[in-house]
Chains A and B, each alone.
Chain A
Amino acid sequence: MPAVKKNSRVHKEIVKKLKEMGLYERVMISKEPLFPKKNALAEERLRGMKFIDNS
């Protein structure tokens, strides 16, 4: 199933609710990561690691 269209009821309802929650800019407009802690964790997990490709 692909993402819904921007003019769909689902998209409009999500946008409306996010605006009510005061999160529209942060979630739908900003390109800043939503989950910086998880990104930091992921980078840390892989930092300095040497990959041996056995696939």
Chain B
Amino acid sequence: MNQTPYPFTRTHNRYIFVSKGNTTIFKAVDFTSMKSRSTFNLCFGDVDIDNQIDDFAISNNGDMKRVLATVIHIIADFLIRNPKAIVYFTGSTATRTNLYQRIVKTHYQQLSAQFEIFASIKSGNRLKKVKFNPHTGIAYSNFFITKKY
């Protein structure tokens, strides 16, 4: 992914940037501490013009690759500041989770140079944590990223 990221600003564990595609959309990436305190849930969404913060919006703003590049740079910045953190993300729907898996698979080479990437496979009430395999046909249910040393 050779896209130039959008410049982003940071406050606490929150990052803000402006997507300038078909329209101008404010985007936020929030890393929220989960019950397992070293794990941070990556939440991403729109801060829209109607004074709403929409966490399930699909923007179709025509700049997905650049937005994605920006999110990857944000994860890197967060993990530099919080080197022991585990960044967790999952899709809000099965379709969205599949999309995330395809994105990680597509950019695996670049991502794996910077990050350790794990995923989990759901089996009953158990989650089997495995190294992300870009060649698998298995649908993962959750994703975890840590800093690579």
Q: Which A residues fall within an 8 A CB radius of B?
A: 1-4, 6, 8, 10-11, 13-14, 17-18, 21-23, 26-29, 31, 33-35, 37-39, 41-43, 45-46, 48-55
Report whether over half of chain B's contact residues are helix, strand or loop; otherwise say mixed.
strand
The contact string, 1 if C-beta is below 8 Å from chain A, for chain B 1-41, is: 00001011111101111100000001010101011100001
8 contacts between A and B (CB under 8 A): A1-B5, A14-B26, A23-B53, A26-B53, A27-B28, A28-B14, A34-B28, A52-B129
Q: Which B residues fall within an 8 A CB radius of A?
A: 5, 7-12, 14-18, 26, 28, 30, 32, 34-36, 41, 43-45, 47, 49, 51, 53, 55-56, 73, 77, 80, 88-90, 92, 118, 120, 125-131, 141-142
The 8 Å CB contact of B43, one of A10, A39, A49, is A39
User: Given A1-B5, A33-B30, are A48 and B125 neighbors across the interface (CB < 8 Å)?
Assistant: yes
**List of B residues within 8 angstroms of A22 by Cβ:** 51
**List of A residues within 8 angstroms of B141 by Cβ:** 45
Asked if B55 and A23 sit within 8 Å, CB to CB, the answer is no
Asked if B92 and A46 sit within 8 Å, CB to CB, the answer is no
Asked if B8 and A34 sit within 8 Å, CB to CB, the answer is no
Q: Which 3 A-B pairs have the closest CB atoms?
A: A35-B55, A3-B10, A35-B43
B102 CB → nearest A CB, Å: 19
**List of B residues within 8 angstroms of A35 by Cβ:** 28, 30, 32, 43-45, 53, 55
B136 CB → nearest A CB, Å: 13
Asked if B55 and A34 sit within 8 Å, CB to CB, the answer is yes
**List of B residues within 8 angstroms of A21 by Cβ:** 26, 47, 49, 51
